[in-house]
Amino acid sequence: MSTYSASKTVALPQSAEEGAAFAGRPLSLPTAFLANGTTVFASLAWVAFGLSCLLWEDLGEWSRTHALAVAAFVIAAGILLATLSGSLLGRFGKGLQQRAPWLLALGLLLSLWEVATAKFAWLPLPFFPPPQAIVEVYTDDLPKLLDSVFASVKLQLGGYAIGAAVGFLTGVSIGWSRSVGYWVHPVLRFIGPLPATAWLPFAFFTFPSSWSASTFLIALATAFPVTVLTWSGVASVSNAYYDVARTLGAKPSFLVLKVAIPAALPHVFVGLFMGLGSSFAVLVVAEMIGVKAGLGWYLQWAQGWAAYSNMYAALIVMSLLCSGAITLLFKTRDRLLIWQKGVVKW
């Protein structure tokens, strides 16, 4: 009598090593499609975007339509190849699967945007330019846009660094010394709540140039949240830490530099994040009103000439700059506050 053996039908792993090898085998083609359905649909969405660029004639004269369609097809092919070889790509393949819903939504959004603007003008032109019009800005007007980016970054870094340094020193001083807090706290309560943009007339009248006035406004917008949060962090340090350090013979300078400031760093970084957002808002307003360079000036210039594609292109660049600055600040925070890494993600 013949006996049924599962091992004759399916080669089951007999050891831990064989199990690991069995689990690491690449999926067959149909199985890969079923396991990665979202990424496949994301690839199809980008194919649809490319077809939407080519199937109908443009209602305007845009020279980057064909190039945009080719780029969409290349992205679709890249997503599909990454899906089929996901097990071989390791971390990149896992990251692609996690971002597949966003890739799908972006492909569908771009397809709808293309059809609603360049092909059928459901959204009125030129107030809603198509994607290829924005691509043209990045290719044809790149030198002026890069000059504006450089001017904004230089102005932002100078004002933010000054405001962060002043706010940090002021916050530590108020939190540590009651006599300093007696004199500085009322001034802070009077000046701090005022929006930095309310000081525009005073700044442009007092300072010798619009650049220095804008630097002052950015520093002012940054300094207030950094001061308050640093002060709160230093004031909330437990007295037990100071008592232990004094027992070991610590001097006041040691208590400030080695006890108070490290314990207050989580609050300091919260203030730095808040100051960064406020400084970007003031940066745009200052460049629109007084400074003759930068992304805010570029936005004002584009609006004056009804170049709405340039305006949207500048807004995208500004968003990337803001997001990149916050990401860099988060990386710095995670490196300095290793015990809080991953608590708040960006």
Query: Mean pLDDT score of the chain, rounded to an integer?
Result: 84
Q: What is the mean pLDDT of residues 307-325?
A: 92
Least confident of 83-97, 176-190, 243-257: 83-97
Do 171 and 310 fall within a single domain? Answer: yes
The pTM for the full model equals: 0.80
Compute the distance between CA of residue 113 and CA of residue 205 in angstroms, rounded to an integer. 45
Compute the distance between CA of residue 31 and CA of residue 238 in angstroms, rounded to an integer. 58
Residue 62 falls inside a structural domain: yes
What confidence tens digit (pLDDT) does each residue in 42-67 have? 999 999 999 999 999 988 889 899 99
Residues 338/339/341/342 CA torsion (nearest 10 deg):
170
Note down the domain range covering 304. Answer: 142-340
Residue 96 pLDDT grade (very low, low, confident, very high; cuts 50, 70, 90)? confident
Q: Are 212 and 154 in contact (CB under 8 A)?
A: no
pLDDT value at position 345? 59
Residue 8 falls inside a structural domain: no
Q: Are 27 and 35 in contact (CB under 8 A)?
A: yes
Residue 202 gets the label, from left (phi > 0), alpha (psi -120 to 50) or beta, of alpha
What confidence tens digit (pLDDT) does each residue in 195-241 have? 888 888 888 888 888 889 999 999 999 999 999 999 999 998 888 88
Q: Are 172 and 234 in contact (CB under 8 A)?
A: yes
Domain boundary pick from 123, 151, 171: 123
Residue 119 falls inside a structural domain: yes
Do 173 and 287 fall within a single domain? Answer: yes
What confidence tens digit (pLDDT) does each residue in 126-182 have? 899 999 999 999 999 999 999 999 999 999 999 999 999 999 999 999 999 889 988
Do 116 and 147 fall within a single domain? Answer: no
What confidence tens digit (pLDDT) does each residue in 5-44 have? 444 444 444 544 444 444 445 445 455 454 467 888 999 9
| Token pair belonging to 341 | 């890494």
Do 206 and 147 fall within a single domain? Answer: yes
Compute the distance between CA of residue 41 and CA of residue 107 in angstroms, rounded to an integer. 10
Do 245 and 116 fall within a single domain? Answer: no
Residue 94 has, within 13 A of its CA and on its CB side, a CA count of 2
Q: What is the mean pLDDT of residues 76-105?
A: 80
What confidence tens digit (pLDDT) does each residue in 17-27 have? 444 444 445 44
pLDDT value at position 340? 65
Do 117 and 162 fall within a single domain? Answer: no
Q: How many distinct structural domains can be found in the chain?
A: 2
Q: What are phi and psi of 343, to 5 degrees?
A: -65, -45
Residue 282 has, within 13 A of its CA and on its CB side, a CA count of 32
Do 243 and 206 fall within a single domain? Answer: yes
Q: Which of 155, 129, 141 is nearest to 298 (CA)?
A: 141
Compute the distance between CA of residue 105 and CA of residue 96 in angstroms, rounded to an integer. 14
